[in-house]
Amino acid sequence: MANNSCKDLPDEVWELILNKLHQRHHSLLESPSLSCKRFLSITNALRTRLSIVDRTTIPLSTLFSRFPNLNSVHLRFFSPGDLGRVIADIATSGLNLRTLNFTGTDGLPLESCRFLGSRMKNIRVLICLALRTLRDIELVVIADSMPCLEDLDISFPENDFGSDPELQGRTLGEVGVTDSGIESLIALSTNCVYLKEISVLGCHLLTLFGIGFVLRNSTNLSLLSVGEIDFGQLDDFSIRWARNLSTLNIYNSVVSDECLHLLANAGIPLKKFTLSHFVHSSFTFSGISSLLNKYRSLKGLSLVRIDFLTDEKMSGLSQCLSAVVTISLDGCDNLTESTFFMLAKNCPLLVDIRMQGTNLGGGGDKTTDIVKNPRINLEVPVVSSCKGITEKGIADFLKSGSKLRSLRIDECGGIKNIGNGFELSELDFIGAARSGINDDGLVLIGNRCLRLLNLNLDGYLGVTIVGLKEILTNCERLRKINLTGCLNVCTETADWMVFSRPSLRKIILPHSYLPSESQRQLFLHCGCLVLSK
pLDDT at residue 275, as a whole number: 95
3-state secondary structure of 343: helix
**Cα-based distances in Å from 180 to 143, 225, 484:** 13, 18, 42
pLDDT at residue 485, as a whole number: 78
Q: Are 221 and 196 in contact (CB under 8 A)?
A: yes
pLDDT at residue 372, as a whole number: 38
Cα angle for residues 253, 257, 262 (degrees, 5° grid): 95
Would you give the distance in Å from CA 249 to the centre of its chain? 15
Please give the CATH architecture assigned to the domain spanning 124-160+171-272: Alpha-Beta Horseshoe (3.80)
Q: Are strands 429-431 and 406-408 parallel, antiparallel or unpaired?
A: parallel
pTM: 0.78
Q: What is the DSSP string of 72-91?
A: EEEE-S--HHHHHHHHHHHH
Q: What is the DSSP string of 465-518?
A: HHHHHHHHHH-TT--EEE-TT-TT--HHHHHHHHHH-TT--EEE--GGGPPPHH
Q: CB within 8 A of 372, min separation 6: which ones?
A: none
pLDDT at residue 377, as a whole number: 54
Q: Are 172 and 135 in contact (CB under 8 A)?
A: no
**Cα-based distances in Å from 77 to 48, 58, 108, 245:** 21, 17, 12, 33
3-state secondary structure of 116: helix
For the chain, what are the domain ranges?
32-120, 124-160+171-272
Helix (H) / strand (E) element for 133: namely: none
pLDDT at residue 287, as a whole number: 95
Q: Are 465 and 439 in contact (CB under 8 A)?
A: no
**Identity (one letter) of the amino acid at 418?**
I
Handedness of CA 378, 384, 385, 388 (dihedral sign): positive
Q: Are strands 300-304 and 247-251 parallel, antiparallel or unpaired?
A: unpaired
Residue 198 sits at φ, ψ, to 5 deg, of: -135, 125
3-state secondary structure of 259: helix
Nearest by Cα to 361 from 409, 325, 400? 409
| Separation CA 333–CA 330 (nearest Å) | 8
Identify any residues that bridge with 73 across adjacent strands, giving them in sequence order. 50, 100
pLDDT at residue 368, as a whole number: 39
pLDDT at residue 367, as a whole number: 45
| Separation CA 296–CA 271 (nearest Å) | 9
Q: Are 152 and 126 in contact (CB under 8 A)?
A: yes
Strands (E), 28-186: 49-52, 72-75, 99-101, 125-127, 151-153
| Separation CA 199–CA 155 (nearest Å) | 6
pLDDT at residue 408, as a whole number: 85
pLDDT tens for the chain, 533 residues long, are 445 556 678 888 888 988 888 887 777 788 888 888 888 899 999 999 988 876 555 678 888 889 999 999 998 777 767 888 889 889 999 999 999 999 888 888 889 999 999 999 889 999 999 888 888 888 888 888 888 889 999 999 887 544 444 545 555 555 567 777 776 666 554 567 788 999 999 888 888 888 888 888 888 899 999 999 999 888 888 888 888 999 999 999 999 999 999 999 998 999 999 999 887 788 999 999 999 999 999 999 999 999 999 999 999 999 999 999 999 999 998 998 889 888 988 888 988 888 888 887 665 544 434 433 444 555 566 666 666 676 777 777 777 655 778 888 888 877 888 888 778 888 889 988 888 888 888 898 998 889 899 999 888 777 788 888 889 999 999 999 998 877 777 767 788 888 888 889 998 888 777 788 888 888 888 888 888 87
Q: How many helices (H) and strands (E) does the chain have?
A: 20, 19
**Identity (one letter) of the amino acid at 149?**
L
Distance separating the N- and C-terminal Cα atoms of the chain:
53
**What does the CA dihedral 229, 232, 236, 240 come to, rounded to 10 degrees?**
20
